[in-house]
Amino acid sequence: MEKIVQELLREEGLDVSWEVSIVIVDDEEIQKLNRDYRGKDTPTDVLSFPLQEGDFVVSEGDNLLGDIVISLETALRQAEDYGHSLEREVGFLTAHGMLHLLGYSHETIEAEKVMNEKAEAVLNILGLSRD
């Protein structure tokens, strides 16, 4: 997970000293967070809580990006459903969450494509490709 965070920072042209908190939880805990912060009372695979407001802006002296929360239970199910390793699934969720911290969203099909391409590129660099 640390390598994925650092590689995404490098790919975005940012200093790798940015700090990100990654928390692994179960479905019950991520459902509570999803309900409390997004108004959706269901489990999800990953949530991001950026400390930056609006568009991502690098500010001097501030090196905290935010938090990524991943449900290990959901990641296990998805890895099985997609036919790849848990390591690859957690890697993808880490990359996805990190991209949200960097200001990316997937509100449109085009934006989702950009996010997925960036995540896949980093996973490929680190040897976590779908192949």
Give the predicted TM-score (pTM) of the model: 0.90
Query: Average pLDDT, whole number, for the chain?
Result: 91
- List the one residue out of 106, 124, 103, 123 whose CA is nearest residue 114: 106
Q: What CA–CA distances, in Å, run from 62 to 19, 66, 71, 90?
A: 9, 11, 28, 27
Task: Dump pLDDT digits (tens) for 13-24.
Answer: 988 888 999 999
Task: Dump pLDDT digits (tens) for 30-56.
Answer: 999 999 999 999 999 999 999 866 555
Q: What is the CATH number of domain 2-125?
A: 3.40.390.30
